[in-house]
A and B are shown apart, each in its own frame.
Chain A
């Protein structure tokens, strides 16, 4: 394994994405990316007793379908890496219990999926694992009750609020075989520019995304031109604007037409998601379907995929603390 610069790992034996699945909820399944998802949930409760169990069932189904696509049983998985937004990441843990495979629970808020890819790729490249199932999920109804208000409360959301996606994405990283290569991964630093509005997660995360993207480009001596697409995970429309402004001010070349945000792509404005989609499942499902399928079809050959998380809790924001942001990035290359 070789390091590049201060934060980037260049994988000596780049793992491949042997299989991937993106699942979306009903509202997400009515959005502009509907045709790309591998499955759209028929109802958001999935026949379960609670929203938390429904989210867990979504993860389990998505993981099972990913393994089926790779022709692997849960017994053949060396590690499941993933998490969600629930306290103590219960949705993923309960799904991992049913899968029965070794499990590494991660929490990086909406950055969890890319965090899992970064770590999983390192463990495989280093020869410690043969494969790793990376996953992340979120559910509108579990996130609302934990972070905001009961669903039936008659409140208004401000324009900068994002809509937590009901979605899940799973990618099976493998040490051999064919598929999209994960060639490098950049670890994020926790960045905090003192944004305290818990509704404004795009603003809280944009500086962290800027930090990690510039670290990646500097560490690997590349520019935005070296990528066909730079994908950010869940800044939303306002956060994406802020990132572009940060790049412009810093003199970092970042063409707007190359910068695609998963949260700003998941819903149409007519669906009234305010600032766009958010949640661990948003970047996971969008990248596992829309982005990866376009790499496999040859439309894109090199993509820098980043996932950013707003590391707040109801406790920290009620105590008046600002919202630290974190961002991880991996470069994906077609065969």
Chain B
């Protein structure tokens, strides 16, 4: 007793025709310049770290830490979500975006307590990145270890 004038397939076709698509070009331009600006900022911090004579090992860690500090601070001030709305992947992919994805649930779920709230939900968004990031680096490490005889 279906009264529907379209089958599911026809309807999905209609939906995709009627639904406006995201403005891709504008999105690319915004993501490019914001993402680029964040990377340039990282480069500046790195150059500053050079003058502090932190050393080859500490310099990148220092740079990353400062970017994370900026990302979490802007999240706490309620600014990073606005940057993210404007820039999309441009602000989500750099490490400041990763910091945002950890700080945002920390703020959101503090009302559920330190254990079941912040503790349990802290990595709800970053968790997949960590899990697959670490897993793939282990995999790449194994491949490198197995092939290093031929590579070097």
Contacts and interface: CB of A to CB of B under 8 A. Distances in A.
A153 B101 contact: yes
29 contacts: A49-B111, A150-B107, A150-B108, A151-B104, A152-B78, A152-B103, A152-B104, A152-B107, A154-B75, A154-B81, A154-B84, A154-B91, A154-B100, A155-B81, A155-B85, A155-B88, A156-B27, A157-B85, A159-B21, A159-B22, A193-B8, A203-B15, A210-B3, A238-B18, A238-B19, A242-B14, A245-B18, A246-B5, A249-B5
A249 B103 CA distance: 49
Output the residue of A149, A193, A207, A250 with the most chain B CB within 10 A. Answer: A193
A261 interface: no
A194 interface: yes
Interface residues of B, number: 40
Given A152-B78, A159-B22, A200 B15 contact: yes
Contacts of A158: 22
Contacts of B27: 156
Interface of A: 6, 49-50, 145, 149-160, 191, 193-195, 200, 203, 207, 210-211, 214-215, 238, 241-242, 245-246, 249-250
Contacts of B18: 238, 241-242, 245
Contacts of B15: 195, 200, 203, 242
B19 A193 contact: no
Contact of B6 (A193, A211, A238): A193
Interface centre among B5, B91, B104, B109, by most chain A C-beta atoms within 10 angstroms, is B5
Contact of B75 (A152, A194, A200): A152
B105 interface: yes
A106 B3 CA distance: 27
A149 B6 contact: no
Contacts, number: 107
Contact of A203 (B19, B80, B85): B19
Interface of B: 1, 3-6, 8, 11-12, 14-15, 18-22, 27, 75-76, 78, 80-85, 87-88, 91-92, 97, 100-101, 103-105, 107-109, 111, 125
A155 B5 contact: no
Contacts of B75: 152, 154
B88 A156 contact: yes
Nearest to B31: A156
A312 B126 CA distance: 24
B11 A207 contact: yes
A157 B21 CA distance: 11
Contacts of A149: 104, 125
Contacts of A250: 3-5
Contacts of A49: 111
A165 B93 CA distance: 30
Nearest to B11: A193
Given A50-B111, A195-B12, A155 B19 contact: no
**Interchain residue pairs A-B with the least CB separation, the first 8:** A154-B84, A150-B108, A250-B5, A150-B104, A249-B5, A152-B104, A153-B104, A194-B8
Interface centre among B78, B84, B108, B125 (most CB of A within 10 A): B108
A19 B97 CA distance: 49
A207 B81 CA distance: 34
A294 B15 CA distance: 33
A157 B84 CA distance: 10
Nearest to B21: A159
Nearest to A50: B111
A211 B2 CA distance: 8
Given A156-B88, A159-B22, A211 B4 contact: yes
Nearest to A211: B3
Contacts of A249: 5-6
B37 to A, nearest CB: 14
A200 B103 CA distance: 28
A152 B108 contact: yes
B72 to A, nearest CB: 10
A331 B119 CA distance: 50
Contact of B81 (A153, A160, A193, A215): A153
Given A49-B111, A193-B12, A152 B81 contact: yes
